[in-house]
């Protein structure tokens, strides 16, 4: 049996980006359970400018099939206010809108052109650890061996990561769907690229969102832990049909509920991302921002950090022991977790208990609409090219302004919560 240098399980954005980067230095096999030769529903995501440094060289940023348009405007929307961040107020766009499956497809093409091997429609069901190598067994009973295993299995490979002794992140059921219409109609309904709306009756865990592509808008929300597919789809249907604040956005657009995609999404990082001969990247490690469920950034960032850790180890023919791989854990925490504090703080403030969700969100959207410095600080977080040095002071300023807007009695009762949120 041929011994590979690296085997990656899972070709989402984390796995595909990492495969392309590492295959410059190592014999690499990328394995994906879904059948990528079949048509896979295209996601329409926001891809902020702060993702760019981690994947700058790997893609053609002008490719409209990958990035159909720039992301210039976000709306943090409540029942009363539109907190709009418009990049033209400050400078370059907030980022791009991505057709993420096209991006992944392009990364895999380049990986294969570079000599990497890609197996799609193949699921790995078991991993046996040996001191010199790992043995992977697929659902058909075939096996592979590798010096290093990289798990980029998202929220869909928890059994495998558990069997290797890793923690699994807390995870919730999410649903999204595409709505279609002419460009003119979509622009008439929605003049921003991204809308983020919170109502605890929709979910106590996350927002309802719209991401605008070309002739399509994706809509979705994060539901409950272990919510069934039927339940979340029926709720999505009711929201799309009846929920007043969004009716003007979906008016005249077409959708088919049977095309909705349901899957788990993780929210908080596990403690350890490496062990002897194994690394965990992206959402599998729970690396998704808690409040905005931004998971593409951690996918590309982990891929870049893992490559930087592994390149010198591959060159010196390392045995990839835990001590050597610890650098990956340290760098992921240093580069991503400072930025993550903002999402943790917002999650703690707004979702801690049901009673203040709506009023705090309303106040936050009012603050964004009225205060230019707050808008500028949010803008700067979108375009930051050095996340390890994300300015926590900016987030603190926003927190203080929000606290200052509370009516006297609420200020008294919520002050301890604000102080704790700022220390998270």
Ligand X SMILES: Cc1cc2nc3c(=O)[nH]c(=O)nc-3n(C[C@H](O)[C@H](O)[C@H](O)COP(=O)(O)OP(=O)(O)OC[C@H]3O[C@@H](n4cnc5c(N)ncnc54)[C@H](O)[C@@H]3O)c2cc1C
Q: How far apart are CA 383 and CA 51, in angstroms?
A: 9
Site for ligand X in 302-361 (CB under 6 A): none
DSSP string, 271-322: S--EETTEEE-GGGGT-S-TTT---HHHHHHHHHHHHHHHHHHHHTT----H
Helix (H, G, I), strand (E, B) or coil at 244: helix
Selected range binding ligand X among 5-13, 22-30, 108-116, 246-254, rule: CB under 6 A:
5-13
For residues 212 to 231, the per-residue mask of contacts with ligand X, x marking binding by CB under 6 A and - elsewhere, is --------x-----------
End-to-end CA separation in angstroms for the chain: 49
Kind plus residue range of the DSSP H or E element containing 403: helix 392-405
Query: At its nearest, how many Å lie between ligand X and the CB of residue 113?
Result: 21
- Dump the DSSP string for 7-50: EEE--SHHHHHHHHHHTTTS-EEEE-SS-TTS--PPPEEEEEGG
If the CB atoms of residues 290 and 402 are measured against ligand X, the closer one turns out to be 290
Binds ligand X (CB under 6 A): choice among 101, 294, 329, 395: 294
Residue tagged 């990082």 (tokens):
269
126 binds ligand X (CB under 6 A): no
Distance from C-alpha of 403 to C-alpha of 216, rounded to nearest angstrom: 38
**Strands 208-212, 134-138: pairing kind:** unpaired
Q: What is the token pair recorded at 272?
A: 């350890």
Q: Under the criterion CB under 6 A, does residue 279 sit at the interface with ligand X?
A: no
Instruction: Return the number of other C-beta atoms located less than 10 Å from residue 247's C-beta.
Output: 12
**How far is 66 from 82, CA to CA, in rounded Å?**
29
Does 295 sit near ligand X (CB under 6 A)? yes
Can you tell me whether residue 186 is helix, strand or coil?
helix
Is residue 297 near ligand X by the rule CB under 6 A?
A: yes
Per-residue string for binding with ligand X, 229-248, x by CB under 6 A? --------------------
Is 13 a binding residue for ligand X by CB under 6 A? The answer is yes
| Residue 166 near residue 286, CB atoms below 8 Å | no
Nearest residue to ligand X, by Cβ distance, number only: 295
* Residue 201: CB minimum distance to ligand X, A: 19
Site residue total, ligand X (CB under 6 A): 37
Q: Looking at 23, 75, 153, 274, which residue binds ligand X (CB under 6 A)?
A: 153
Shortest spacing between CB 165 and ligand X, in angstroms = 16
Which range in 58-66, 79-87, 296-304, 309-317 contacts ligand X by CB under 6 A?
296-304
For residue 158, give the nearest of 337, 289, 293, 283 by alpha carbon. Answer: 283
Stretch that binds ligand X, among 81-89, 151-159, 351-359, 401-409 (CB under 6 A): 151-159
Closest approach of ligand X to the CB of residue 375, in Å: 20
Question: Applying CB under 6 A, does 14 fall inside the site for ligand X?
Answer: yes
Interface segment toward ligand X; rule CB under 6 A; list 19-27, 65-73, 105-113, 278-286: 278-286
299 binds ligand X (CB under 6 A): yes
Q: What is the DSSP letter of 362?
A: H
Q: What is the DSSP letter of 254?
A: B
Residues in the chain: 424
Under the binding rule (CB under 6 A), the answer on residue 101 touching ligand X is no
Nearer to ligand X, 177 or 325 (CB): 177
3-class secondary-structure state, position 223: coil
**Can you tell me which residue has the tokens 């295209």?**
42
Task: Indicate which single residue of 93, 95, 157, 286 sits in contact with ligand X (rule: CB under 6 A).
Answer: 157
Per CB under 6 A, which of residues 20..49 are in contact with ligand X?
31-34, 45-46
> Does residue number 156 form part of the binding site for ligand X (CB under 6 A)?
yes
Report the interface residues with ligand X, using CB under 6 A: 9-15, 31-34, 45-46, 123-124, 152-154, 156-157, 160, 174, 176, 211, 220, 263, 265, 282-284, 288, 293-297, 299
């Amino acid at each position: 049996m041929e011994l590979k240098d690296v085997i990656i399980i899972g070709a989402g954005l984390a796995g595909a980006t990492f495969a392309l980067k590492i295959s410059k230095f190592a014999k690499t096999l990328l394995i994906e359970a879904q059948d990528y030769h079949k048509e896979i529903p295209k996601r329409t995501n926001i891809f902020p400018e702060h993702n760019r440094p981690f994947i700058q060289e790997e893609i053609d940023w002008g490719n409209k099939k990958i990035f159909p348009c720039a992301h210039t405007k976000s709306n943090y929307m409540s029942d009363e206010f539109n907190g709009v961040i418009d990049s033209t107020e400050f400078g370059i766009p907030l980022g791009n809108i991505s057709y993420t499956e096209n991006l992944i497809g392009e990364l895999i093409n380049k990986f294969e052109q570079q000599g990497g091997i890609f197996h799609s429609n193949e699921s790995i069901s078991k991993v046996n650890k040996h001191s010199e190598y790992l043995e992977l067994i697929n659902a058909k009973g075939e096996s592979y061996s590798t010096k290093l295993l990289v798990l980029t299995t998202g929220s869909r490979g928890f059994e495998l990561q558990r069997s290797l002794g890793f923690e699994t992140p807390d995870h919730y059921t999410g649903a999204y769907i595409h709505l279609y219409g002419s460009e003119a109609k979509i622009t008439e309904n929605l003049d921003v690229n991204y809308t983020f709306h919170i109502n605890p009756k929709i979910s106590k865990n996350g927002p309802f969102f719209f991401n605008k592509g070309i002739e399509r808008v994706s809509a979705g929300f994060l539901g409950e832990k272990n919510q069934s597919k039927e339940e979340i789809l029926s709720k999505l249907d009711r929201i799309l049909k009846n929920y007043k604040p969004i009716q003007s956005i979906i008016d005249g657009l077409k959708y088919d509920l049977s095309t909705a995609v349901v899957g788990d999404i993780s929210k908080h990082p596990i403690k350890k991302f490496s062990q002897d001969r194994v690394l965990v990247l992206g959402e599998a490690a729970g690396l998704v921002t808690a409040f905005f469920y931004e998971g593409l950034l951690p996918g590309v960032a982990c891929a870049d950090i893992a490559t930087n850790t592994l390149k010198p180890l591959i060159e010196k023919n390392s045995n990839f022991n835990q001590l050597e791989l610890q650098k990956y854990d340290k760098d992921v925490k240093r580069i991503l977790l400072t930025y993550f504090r903002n999402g943790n703080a917002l999650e703690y403030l707004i979702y801690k208990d049901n009673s203040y969700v709506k009023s705090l969100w309303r106040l936050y959207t009012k603050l964004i609409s009225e205060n230019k410095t707050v808008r500028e600080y949010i803008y700067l977080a979108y375009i930051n090219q050095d996340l390890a040095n994300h300015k926590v002071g900016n987030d603190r300023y926003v927190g203080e302004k929000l606290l200052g807007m509370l009516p006297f009695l609420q200020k008294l009762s919520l002050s301890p919560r604000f102080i704790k949120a700022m220390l998270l």
